[in-house]
Amino acid sequence: MRLFISIPLPEELLTHLKELQILINDESARLRFVNDFHLTLKFLGEVGNDKLAPLKEKLSLVSFTPFDLQLDAVGVFPDTDHLRVIWAGVTPHQPVVELQQQIDAALSGLFPKDDRFHPHITLARVAFVKDKVRYNDVLKNVTVNKLSFPVNRFDLMESTLTPGGPVYGTLFSFQAPKAL
């Protein structure tokens, strides 16, 4: 099975992320919009059934303090000259990066470490760009509502590839201990 680990997002945020998808849409680029938003912490790829129990056990040992994130400006991967992924940012980076590093450390020996982690919420993947200057301008003019949301859980997700695009399902949730 194809697995990844991500932070689920609250309903109020999803509404605004859908609005952002409308704002980033322009005839200067052909986009493939995602219809299931999440903040990916680690992509695990194809994982054999035999690895599932140790994976779950190691993830259950990850302990983190709940934190708040704020939605931030729209950005692109890899850069404005090569537009492949359009995403919404989050701030601050530090608590998400720390959680990602804890997960990486917990899974060392089972999965390779991620050296480059940049927290983001993918809005769309770019099929092709007709006018790069114009499209970068469109992106620059998108105003993001800097909504705050709590992070107190991460999920082990399964991605099933279908002709209509990937379908995601939650296998297990890992809850942060309740704040005192």
Catalytic residues: 38, 120
Which residue's CB is nearer to ligand 2AM, number 41 or number 129?
41
Query: Backbone phi, then psi, for 46, in 5-degree steps?
Result: -70, 125
Q: Report, in Å, the least distance between residue 130 CB and ligand 2AM.
A: 23
Map tokens 């601050």 to a residue: 92
Which residue's CB is nearer to ligand 2AM, number 141 or number 163?
163
Pick from 14, 23, 28, 40: which binds ligand 2AM (CB under 6 A)? 40
Pick from 64, 95, 159, 176: which binds ligand 2AM (CB under 6 A)? 159
Q: Report, in Å, the least distance between residue 4 CB and ligand 2AM.
A: 4
State yes or no: residue 67 binds ligand 2AM (CB under 6 A).
no
CA distances to 114, 121, 178 from 136, rounded to whole Å, are 28, 18, 42
Give the whole-angstrom CA distance, residue 101 versus residue 107: 10
CB 157 within 8 A of CB 52: no
Q: Which residues make Cβ contacts (< 8 Å) with residue 131, sequence separation at least 6?
A: 28, 29
Q: Report, in Å, the least distance between residue 139 CB and ligand 2AM.
A: 17
> Measured on CA atoms in the order 47, 95, 126, 82, is the torsion positive or negative?
negative
State yes or no: residue 4 binds ligand 2AM (CB under 6 A).
yes
Which residue's CB is nearer to ligand 2AM, number 53 or number 161?
161
Kindly state the tokens that stand for 74.
């729209």
Q: Report, in Å, the least distance between residue 101 CB and ligand 2AM.
A: 16
State yes or no: residue 122 binds ligand 2AM (CB under 6 A).
yes
State yes or no: residue 114 binds ligand 2AM (CB under 6 A).
no
Give the whole-angstrom CA distance, residue 115 versus residue 138: 31
State yes or no: residue 102 binds ligand 2AM (CB under 6 A).
no
Angle between the 94-106 and 52-60 helix axes, to the nearest 10 degrees?
130
Which residues of the shown chain bind ligand 2AM in the complex (CB under 6 A)? 4, 40, 43, 122, 159, 166
